[in-house]
Structure 1
Amino acid sequence: MSGHGFHVHGPHDHAVEHAAHSDDKFSGNIAVTTAILATVGALFGYQGGATQNEAAMFKNNAAIDKTQAANSWNYYQAKSGKQNLAELAITLPLADQEKYKGEIARYKAEKEDIKKEAEKWEASSAEWNRKSDAAMHTHHQWALATTAEQIAISLAAITLLTHRRWLLYATYAVAAAGIALGAFAMLHVDPLALLTGGGAPAH
């Protein structure tokens, strides 16, 4: 503790400190292992944050395009209203038939273009949503990988205190599982989908 406050040490910090005051090779190996796991976990955590931000950005783009689609459909409805009025007017006595026929044809053509525009924005919004879901799924994979490395670090600290070799093996197993999850996240592969024959999700 210093005069300016206190500092909370992580499990790997204690492991390194303990190893520095010990000539035990076993303790030294654990200290190195925890330092490596802490580095890997930090990298996984960074990737998890990056993919979460990416998912939020994609979701925002989807909302913008959805608004554009809604505006286009509103414009389409306005043109439909004008077309309906022209179709009503053409039935009135002494109506300028050619004028209203021309207006009806123009509104139909304009509506077709507006419809295509609205459908384009809707498709774009759906694609951004798909990308957001995929990025969030990858974020969850990175989060699981990070958690596994944190558990492995904690196991390594317990191993250092107890000198139980079976705990060391458990540490390696959990760390390997975390690294595998990180590899799946990096390659955009869903392990559950692989087990069920679904393969890797589109990204």
Structure 2
Amino acid sequence: MSGHGFHVHGPHDHAVEHAAQHGSDSFSNNIAVMTAILATVGALFGYLGGATQNDAALFKNNAAIAKTTAANSWNYYQAKSSKQNLAELATSLPGVDAQMQAKYKADVARYESEKAGIKKEAEKYEAQSDEWNEKSERALHTHHQWALATTAEQIAISLAAITLLTRRRWLLSITYVVAIVGFALGAFAWLHVDPLGALFASGH
């Protein structure tokens, strides 16, 4: 094994190497340049896809934290409800004097007031959890769009390599079409546009 390590060649590396060693015509040079551009764009799409995947995971984690906090608040709410019920029961027990009844009634009113605040807090955290989940779903959908765009560019690179090696010019048209599809998917991801979703929505 070499002390310098090893390098795994991608399809665009072979295409550019072939153009450099076996041809200097404009066809080969154009393919080599186009392949290098596609590789750069594909790498950018892949980076953006990874970033949105990380965002989706972060948002999902925030949603889980908010949901747990909401659950804790609801448990606290239930505990206050139990204490309120006991205080209400105590006011109706026989043998309870007026002073104790007044105290229990005050406790009931206090628990009712505390419950209102706790309920408001629990609902706030539930709403936050829903918002984080929606953000996570949107980020994950964008990640899938970036992934499709990256895949399209990788296919275009492979087609460009085959075109260069076989010199089949009709393959070049297919390469252009696939590359353009990849660019379009990348644009949709960048603009947060879902053409299929919009199409289905308009159909209803």
TM-score bin (small chain): over 0.9
CA distance in 1, matches of 2:150, 2:132: 27
How far apart are the structure 2 equivalents of 1:23 and 1:102?
94
Matched, 1:146 2:150: yes
2-side partners of 1:195 and 1:68: how far apart? 38
Q: Deviations over 1:10-66 (max 9, x none)?
A: 111111111112222101100000000000000000000000000000000001000
- Aligned counterpart, 1:17: 17
Hey, what does 1:46 align to over in structure 2?
A: 47
Deviation (angstroms), 1:93? 1.9
State the TM-score, normalized to the length of structure 2. 0.93
Match of 1:109 among 97, 110, 113: 113
Find the aligned partners of 1:47 and 1:7 in 2 and give their Cα distance. Answer: 24
Question: What are the equivalent positions in structure 2 for 1:146-185 lying under 5 Å apart?
Answer: 146-185=150-189
2:68 alignment partner AA = T
| Letter of the structure 2 residue corresponding to residue 131 of structure 1 | K
Quick one: structure 1 residues 3 and 120, their matched pair in 2 at CA, closer, same or farther if it must change by over 3 Å? closer
After superposition, residues 2-151 of structure 1 pair within 5 angstroms as: 2=2, 4-21=4-21, 22-95=23-96, 96-151=100-155
Normalising by structure 1, we get a TM-score of 0.94
What stretches of structure 1 of length at least 5 have no aligned partner?
A: 199-203
Residues 113 and 100 of structure 1: CA distance in aligned 2, closer, same or farther (over 3 Å): same
Q: Is the CA contact 2:12–2:157 (under 8 Å) kept in the aligned structure 1?
A: yes
Q: Whole-Å Cα distance in 2 between the matches of residues 97 and 4 of structure 1? A: 87
Aligned equivalents of 2:76 and 2:201: distance in 1? Answer: 45
- 1:197 Cα deviation (Å)? 3.7
CA distance in 1: counterparts of 2:179 and 2:49, whole angstroms: 17
| Aligned CA-pair RMSD | 1.5
Deviating above 4 A after TM superposition, structure 1's stretches of 4 or more consecutive aligned residues are 1-5
Q: Which residue of 2 aligns with 1:201?
A: none
Aligned: 1:186 with 2:190: yes
1: CA distance, partners of 2:161 / 2:136: 37
Aligned residues: 199
Gapped regions of structure 2 (runs ≥ 5):
none
Query: What percentage of residue pairs aligned between the two structures are identical?
Result: 77
- CA offsets, 1:87-129, max 9 Å, x none? 1100112322211111111111110110010000000001000
- Cα shift readout 1:66-102 (whole Å, capped 9, x = no counterpart): 0100110010011001001101100112322211111
Q: Which of the pair is proportionally richer in helix? A: 2
